[in-house]
Amino acid sequence: MKDLRIVFMGTPDFAVDTLKTLVENNYNVVGVITAPDKPAGRGRKLHESAVKQYAVSQNLNVLQPTNLKSEDFLNELKALEANLQIVVAFRMLPKVVWQMPEYGTFNLHASLLPNYRGAAPINWAIINGETTTGVSTFFINEDIDTGDMILQESIAIDPEENVGSLHDKLMTIGSALVLKTVKQIESDSVTTTPQKDTADIKTAYKLNRDNCKINWEAPIDDIYNLIRGLSPYPGAWCTLVNGEEHLDVKIYASSKEPAEHDYTIGSVIASKKELKVAVLNGYINIKEIKLPGKRAMDIKSLLNGYEFNVNAKML
């Protein structure tokens, strides 16, 4: 059995479960690399990453470099004398960092590679209407998410779940897959498989304002999947035109209602109990919405205090 000295790299909640699993299984985590503290909230107080908060609670050695190529950071990293590095939801590493440890640097990615390489794999699996996704471990090389595969675990996507619930499921099976990968490296039984590149590989593009906007002319399933694939974060948005008001709203939950109708696409149909938008071949029933400057609310709460013009529409 190899005597592992592990450096862990990660920042958000998704990475905490894996670090916690390593600690609870008594692995020697000699250092934790995470993002620098950032100002957040109205008071702009410095906010520590989720990984840092957990690492500090376990008295682990934390490094927060602003530049992964700086001589000072590289010297600190070398001084830890790690022989394995594990990356979960961190930034791209320079070669001088990922090639440093004797047993390599491996990454946990929240998709079934080679599909959904990129920044937002959980979101895009739902947005594209996938019924299955999973997690993969692979050794890092020069190109993002293309290194030799170690292990994969698949999971079904519930047709009604959003990215929040899928994130939590993948976080749990991902931490177990990392542990399994570490055990293989420890026992020198790890085997790898090159990723196959084909023309139809799907990409997990970085989310931005443009690709989070609802196109009400799209097929009903595409709209429904976009809304749940962006909920609870960052939220699918559109513009509500209600009389003189033009409001950018976010929609966090919906259901789909296939039907024939004569409404113009984007027309808002409001009653005392429901709010729906006319789309091709049916309606999108809005269940949770956020108006500018307000908290997200269920549709009943909105309809109690907000009146819709008969000509209201979503753009």
Binding positions for (6S)-5,6,7,8-tetrahydrofolate are 111-114
Report the alpha-carbon distance of residue 109 to residue 115 in Å, rounded. Answer: 11
Q: Return the beta strands (E) in 116-159 as ranges.
A: 117-118, 132-139, 149-156
For residue 232, whether the previous peptide bond is cis, meaning omega lies within 30 degrees of 0, is yes
- Token pair 């799209």 is at which residue? 218
Give whole-number Cα distances, 273 to 181, 253, 289, in Å.
51, 15, 14
Amino acid at 242: N
* Structure-block tokens of residue 199: 């023309």
Report the 10 Å Cβ neighbour count for 70: 11
Contact 105, 140 (CB under 8 A): yes
Report the alpha-carbon distance of residue 25 to residue 64 in Å, rounded. Answer: 25
* Structure-block tokens of residue 105: 């640097």
Q: Return the beta strands (E) in 11-75 as ranges.
A: 29-33, 38-40, 45-47, 62-63
In a 13 Å sphere around the CA of 247, the CA atoms on its Cβ side amount to 18
Per the annotation, binding residues are 111-114
Report the alpha-carbon distance of residue 263 to residue 210 in Å, rounded. Answer: 26
